[in-house]
Amino acid sequence: MSHDLGAILDLDACVEHLRGLIRIPSVNPPDGGPDVAAGRDPTGGETAAARYCADELGDAGIAAEVIELTPGRGSCVARLRATGPDTQPPLILLSHLDVVPVDAEAWSRDPFGGDLVDGVVWGRGAVDMKDMVAMELGVMLALQRSGAELRRDVIFAAVADEEAGGEHGARGLVEQRPELFGDDSGRTAAAAINEVGGYSMTLGDRRFYTIQVAEKGIAWTRLRTTGTPGHGSMPHADNAAVKLAAAVTALAADQARRPARVIPVVAGFLEAIGLGEVAPLAESDPARAADLLTSVVTDPVTRRSIDAMLRDTATPTVLRAGKKVNVLPGTGEAEVDVRTLPGTDQAAFLGHLRAVVGGGVTVESVVSLPPVEWPADAEIVGLMHDALRAADPEATAVPMMITPGTDAKALAQLGIPCYGFAPLRLEPDVPFLSLFHGHDERVPVSALAFGLPVLAQVVARYAIRA
């Protein structure tokens, strides 16, 4: 049986699936009202997106289940089964259906219009990550049309709630329905293909493709201060808002001083993209490392991404204190996005933050998810290298760690290696990383035209019986 699915892949259908999914306002949180979804009601959006996928799969003869661990927060799971003797553990095609809220007034186009203009698809989820949902859906449909005999099950899992930690999606399914991620023999999946990695980046005149083999841990944290309420016209020192501001300022100062710690996968990534000197300098001479990084990497978002690979981070993102201008607040609260490198003791790091903010401020862990790291020499990673080399011989594929978190953390509870590989060839002027959770999210059709057959080749060579 041929491993080549190229002749039966349907790029036009893939693009239309992406546009159709974008038009479903599957905003997380779904109870935020129309303000978070450009005037639309996001209630039940994740289930609607799951049903879209299930209907497309069902029409092709692939049985699909829509699972709501929480009403309105649906995930779609489907399976193509292995046949014949000596089957191997499954492959999971993992994606998420939820998207973050939008500020519609800041967009050039309707965030949920799914517009196709001059070869570009616009809308929330175009890169995070309904493009991957559409590509994985396209690969499943092509496998079904091919009639190929599979040596391992291929499981499609498009899930809810990734943007908030996965309680209603991947994490909940792993805890409540672990059998979904294995085969009839009770073997858990051998690997999963997930979001973020696979995109191209251009440095100077060289193009690289990232293969995500690790990601930082998450420790979303809440600071709380208390004070004595009173009239705003009579200030006093026991002001919860002032205490909160001081705590956040202390965190920012501590972040600016935080030393680098270069883990092996990051050192290898820097070496591969021509920034090998940055790794030792980051630990011994941070100012010189920053200057070198600036001289080579022109995109500021890419520079911030690389810098965040070099250290643990604590970033205040939400501040709340007071309800009325003339009332001294009795409480204050800040939410801090903490990300930790593999090897960092998260509890100890939170203890450090408590010492930084000082007495009178409580520091509470709200969500704690560990870093993950998987072998970069795995069979499926080799297939990713091969597929990218065949599609773009002049480029170089490099393993990397991402600084955000994904549903890989949920599958890690079952011991399933989860590799980020949403292959897209992008022109140097596409501000790809800034489009994650940003305004005017969009993806070129040309990037999907590159990525769909590359993804299909990896899946086919890993799953189709020779």
pLDDT digits (tens, 9 = 90+) for 409-460: 999 999 999 999 999 999 999 999 899 999 999 999 999 999 999 999 999 9
- SS3 category, 435: helix
pLDDT digits (tens, 9 = 90+) for 9-26: 999 999 999 999 999 999
Are residues 384 and 359 part of one domain? no
Q: Which amino acid is at 28?
A: N
CATH number, domain of 285, equals 3.30.70.360
Are residues 256 and 111 part of one domain? no
Are residues 402 and 340 part of one domain? no
Helix ranges restricted to H, 195-262: 240-257
Are residues 231 and 145 part of one domain? no
Are residues 279 and 224 part of one domain? yes
Decide: 99 and 162 in contact? Cβ < 8 Å.
Answer: no
131 within some domain: yes
Q: Which of 322, 347, 369 is the last residue of a domain?
A: 369
Closest Cα partner for 79 from 181, 27, 153? Answer: 153
**Total structural domains in the chain?**
2
Are residues 164 and 44 part of one domain? yes
Are residues 412 and 276 part of one domain? no
**Cα separation, 271 vs 252, whole angstroms:** 30
Are residues 346 and 245 part of one domain? yes
**Cα separation, 114 vs 308, whole angstroms:** 32
**Cα separation, 242 vs 283, whole angstroms:** 34
pLDDT digits (tens, 9 = 90+) for 62-72: 999 999 999 99
Decide: 212 and 401 in contact? Cβ < 8 Å.
Answer: yes
Q: Which of 311, 343, 369 is the last residue of a domain?
A: 369
Q: Which amino acid is at 423?
A: P
- SS3 category, 423: coil
Predicted confidence at residue 204, as pLDDT, reads: 87
Decide: 119 and 444 in contact? Cβ < 8 Å.
Answer: yes
Are residues 347 and 268 part of one domain? yes
**Cα separation, 315 vs 37, whole angstroms:** 25
Are residues 316 and 453 part of one domain? no
Predicted confidence at residue 1, as pLDDT, reads: 47
Predicted confidence at residue 6, as pLDDT, reads: 84
CATH number, domain of 419, equals 3.40.630.10
Are residues 208 and 113 part of one domain? yes
The pLDDT averaged over each successive group of 10 residues in the chain (466 residues) is 80 98 98 96 98 98 98 98 95 98 97 98 98 98 96 98 95 98 97 96 93 96 97 96 98 96 96 94 94 90 94 97 96 98 96 96 94 96 98 97 96 98 95 93 98 98 95
Are residues 390 and 258 part of one domain? no
Q: Which of 338, 369, 400 is the last residue of a domain?
A: 369
Structure tokens at 146: 């091919």
- Residue 240 sits in which domain range? 216-369
1 within some domain: no
385 within some domain: yes
